[in-house]
Amino acid sequence: MDYDTVFAKVIAKQWNALAVEEQRQANTKPNRQGRLAPDDPDSFALVDSYNYQRGHIDVFEEVYKQANHYPPKKYERLIVVDIGAGAATVAVALHEALSRTKCKRIDYLAFDPHPMMQKLGKQVLKHLDAGFRTATYIESLDEVGFTRAARVLFTFSYVAHQETVTPSDINEWASLIKRAVCDTDRAVELMYTTAAKLKGRGAHLDLYRKLSRAKVIRKCHSVSVEVQRRFPNSVDSKRKETWRKSTEHWQVEAGHWILSK
């Protein structure tokens, strides 16, 4: 199913079912700027997905294309580890960017600490039915395993500036990425997107320093993205969503790293 129909069935439907006062509070909570703590109310996860998921998908899809990532070939297996996955944003972008035959070669692993994001993401994956080899929300990054022949892509879509990302999270991400580099024979890739106005700060910079010290980064490109902002029209959640295009573009900082032993 296409995302615009899934959006109406899953996200708009639950957003429209909230009481007006709950919607107002979720919409007007000051200074959140997309930051979501694991104990924030479900309505915050809903409002973020409602307002921004379409945009984050558009941006990731463009980064994926600009990075010239080779889609998995016949007999190849690509493991995508989506950290701070929200409601499975990267899975939707891959579904839109690749044919079903290529999606069948992908194991999509989503990790997100917010229970409502996990719930929405599982519903999005089910309705999308993208044909991935597997598509799972994992409880802990310790669950991720690699095989020698697998290709691996780590994704961080709008997660680098979350206030709840701690130095211990960044250590854990670096260890996992180093483990992927050690356990596989193929180059490991990483793509991130984040808001450009926060340039000069963010977890991706600490992660880069750690992986550089471990001498596993081979190439590192910044990716320039020009994507028009799109927002939901006021939805009839029984139909496919149509989107209101803004004249502005998303202001994005994005990167693509290639890592190996």
Ligand X SMILES: C[S@@+](CC[C@H](N)C(=O)[O-])C[C@H]1O[C@@H](n2cnc3c(N)ncnc32)[C@H](O)[C@@H]1O
Which parts of this chain interact with ligand X (CB under 6 A)?
34, 36, 48, 53, 56, 83-86, 89, 112-114, 117, 157-159, 162, 164-165, 169
State the minimum distance, in angstroms, from the CB of residue 86 to ligand X.
3
CB 108 within 8 A of CB 145: no
User: Which residue's beta carbon is nearest to the bound ligand X?
Assistant: 86
Residue (113 or 131) nearer to ligand X, CB: 113
State the minimum distance, in angstroms, from the CB of residue 114 to ligand X.
4
Closest CA to 157 of 40, 258, 26, 252: 252
Q: Two tokens at 72?
A: 């998995």
State the minimum distance, in angstroms, from the CB of residue 185 to ligand X.
28
To 10 degrees, the CA torsion angle through 39, 85, 127, 79? -140
Q: How much is the CA Rg of the chain, to the nearest whole Å?
A: 18
Residue (175 or 260) nearer to ligand X, CB: 175
- Contacts of residue 171, defined as CB under 8 A and 6 or more positions apart, other chains included, come to 210
Residue (93 or 216) nearer to ligand X, CB: 93
State the minimum distance, in angstroms, from the CB of residue 68 to ligand X.
21
State the minimum distance, in angstroms, from the CB of residue 228 to ligand X.
17
State the minimum distance, in angstroms, from the CB of residue 41 to ligand X.
12
Number of CB atoms found within 10 A of residue 209's CB: 12
Residue 174 sits at φ, ψ, to 5 deg, of -65, -40
**What is the distance, to the nearest Å, from the Cα of residue 94 to the centroid of all Cα atoms in its chain?**
10
Please report, for residues 12, 82, 87, 115, 117, the alpha-carbon distance to residue 45 in angstroms, rounded to integers and kept in the order given: 12, 17, 9, 9, 6
What secondary structure does DSSP assign to 145-170, as a single string? Answer: ---TT-EEEEEEES-TT-TT--HHHH
Residue (109 or 219) nearer to ligand X, CB: 109
Residue (76 or 167) nearer to ligand X, CB: 167
Residue (75 or 168) nearer to ligand X, CB: 168
State the minimum distance, in angstroms, from the CB of residue 33 to ligand X.
9
Spatial distance between the Cα atoms of 3 and 56, rounded to a whole number of angstroms? 13
Q: Two tokens at 65?
A: 């294309």
Residue (52 or 73) nearer to ligand X, CB: 52
